[in-house]
Chain A
Amino acid sequence: MTVSIQISHDFGPFRLDTAFQAGPGLTALFGRSGSGKTTVINAVAGLLTPQQGNITVAGRVLFDSAAGINLPAHKRRVGYVFQDARLFPHMTVAQNLRYGKRFNHRPGPLPESEVIDMLGIGGLLSRRPTALSGGEKQRVAIGRALLSAPDILLLDEPLAALDATRKDEILPYLERLRDQARLPILYVSHAMTEVARLANTLVLLQDGTVRRAGPVTNLLSDPDLAPLIGLREAGSILTARVLAHHDDGLTELQTAGGHLHLPRLSAATGSTLRIRIPAHEVMLALTPPQGISALNVLPAVVDQIREGSGPGVLLRLATGPDYILARITRRSATALGLRPGTRCHAIVKSVSVAQGDVSGPDQSSA
């Protein structure tokens, strides 16, 4: 594992006691505000010294309370992208980007020209930060962090301060970053849509402790974790391949559990996509539904049922090797006699495409 974190710190009313490991790719730290997400990455960056624990990144011990090791922030080789960008106002964009190079001569994960291309900031180089939009500032901040030749990237809710349009503008850049930077990335967020779209690994934090950590697809299809994620946000992630674009304006996708039809996507035939099926957008039928307008019906087997305190139940359905989550009322579940092992049909009312190489509308109803 490239990143190993085990820290505890007593803030008085709040106690952080966190341990997890992260591999390559993007690891999302997800939790409500006040769950300790930012505290964790501040500890990694050396902006906060935990009372006890150890932090190792790419084979280097950054902090070990038992061994008395506590590297200062400037020796930790972390690229930190702050929520508020924090560009230096007295420097141009180009000077901001090259700031980290003054202090080390290690080659970065990507050459400068590639970083500038990837983030689309070539036209901004001579500008001052005051003349940039919020989205442009964040892209420059990401470039500045990357060019300081870090061993790890830390992103603290980089989209939180932006409006919806700007968020959509930056998300594709973050996907490219995840796929091209070849660095472990710790990404703090409390927005499930971002996590579903970006994360490879998910660490769920609650009240300063790790509730669960693992591959994002597993955790999001676990009904036991849905209350933590938020019932409205609950939903599973599937990988789909674009099979064909049909003449009637629909795109056919292949998932392990069956085929789905969505309004035309711009992704090329043969490419793979990450799609997200919200739990409340799934209906169940015991027999193959007939005389119904819904196009997307997947044969499924009830795998797990979780009853909450409210009127709803959460079901995990196995569709082939994939799992999808469905949220229906307890009354319906009883009426249908659903229990683990029941064969049924999942009617998927809406699918959102959680991948950036789609230029069309992000949310599609089918």
Chain B
Amino acid sequence: MDWLTPQEWAAVALSLRVALWATVGSLPLAILVALALARGTFPGKQLLNGLVHLPLILPPVVTGYLLLITFGKRAPVGAFLYDTFGLVLAFRWTGAALAAAIMAFPLMVRAIRLAIEAVDPKLEQAAATLGASRLMVFATVTLPLVLPGIIAGAILAFAKAMGEFGATITFVSNIPGQTQTLPSAIYAFLQVPGGEASALKLVGVSVALAMGALLASEALARRAAQKVQG
């Protein structure tokens, strides 16, 4: 990769790592939350729905600041995590992954929830009469029908995580090689004279990754719709 300098490459690699962990780490929770929102009836459902969508409408810098005062090394949750597990989030790449996960969470939940709502509960009833327990119904009917939606949601979340800027820079700053993600690097290159060429290269990488993810997500969503309507 000699067309990228080590600093540029570090930013791309860090962004990929952050986005991957953000996506994989939040996926199980996103499926559970999407299930609860699509099928559950419980008090506080609207509150949960609002909470999940909050990062979508809050200014990212507000989300970043809230993370800082919750997960900072001396903040209540942050101190607990450090004392118990030795885990530090603020100003580390792990924090960038957390910020990206939270910012991408609404998109992921939304895609999965729509896929779950498209599954006909009558098919699940049919599976039950054929001898499938609730868990087996989920594993053999619901999940396969929702799978394309889950993949689409995960790809969308990955793309969002790759581009997350406001919350990340507020929570973990912009330390080259440690917390400098792709967008942070572009921002940094634009602040120094002669950095425009580097910034432009990274912009190209950014656009390519985002377009690729969007196309893949659209294709999978279409396949999901076809299958579920079957």
Interface residues of A (CB under 8 A from B): 45-47, 72-80, 82, 84, 86, 88-90, 99-100, 102-104, 128-130, 144-145, 148
Contact = CB atoms under 8 A, between A and B. Distances in A.
B135 to A, nearest CB: 10
Contacts of A75: 131
Interface stretch (B55-63, B118-126, B192-200, B213-221): B118-126
A89 B229 contact: yes
A192 B122 CA distance: 27
A152 to B, nearest CB: 11
A80 B230 contact: no
Contact of A144 (B130, B140, B227): B130
A89 B228 contact: yes
B229 A78 contact: no
Chain B interface, >50% SS class: helix
A86 B130 contact: no
Contact of B128 (A73, A102, A130): A73
B127 A88 contact: yes
Given A84-B122, A89-B230, A90-B230, A78 B127 contact: no
A89 B130 contact: no
Given A74-B131, A100-B130, A103-B130, A130 B230 contact: yes
Interface string B125-142: 111111111101100110
B227 A90 contact: yes
Given A89-B228, A90-B144, A74 B123 contact: no
Contacts of A148: 129-131
Given A72-B128, A74-B133, A90 B122 contact: no
B97 interface: no
Given A75-B131, A130-B230, A144-B130, 17 more contacts: A46-B128, A47-B125, A47-B128, A74-B129, A74-B137, A77-B131, A78-B129, A79-B129, A82-B126, A86-B123, A88-B126, A88-B141, A89-B228, A100-B131, A102-B136, A103-B131, A148-B129
Contacts, number: 75
Of B131, B132, B133, B137, chain A has the most CB atoms within 10 Å of the CB of B131
Interface string B40-65: 00000000000000000000000000
Nearest to A106: B131
13 contacts: A73-B129, A74-B130, A74-B132, A74-B133, A78-B129, A79-B129, A86-B122, A88-B123, A89-B229, A99-B130, A103-B132, A145-B129, A148-B129
Nearest to A75: B131
Of B129, B140, B145, chain A has the most CB atoms within 10 Å of the CB of B129
A153 B227 CA distance: 29
Of A45, A73, A78, A144, chain B has the most CB atoms within 10 Å of the CB of A73
Contact of A104 (B122, B126, B131): B131
Interface string B145-159: 100000000000000
A102 B130 CA distance: 9
Contacts of A145: 129-130
* 5 pairs of A and B residues whose beta carbons are closest in the complex: A89-B230, A103-B131, A73-B128, A86-B126, A100-B130
Nearest to A84: B122
B57 to A, nearest CB: 35
A86 B131 CA distance: 15
A145 B144 CA distance: 21
Contacts of B129: 45-47, 73-74, 76, 78-80, 145, 148
Contacts of B227: 89-90
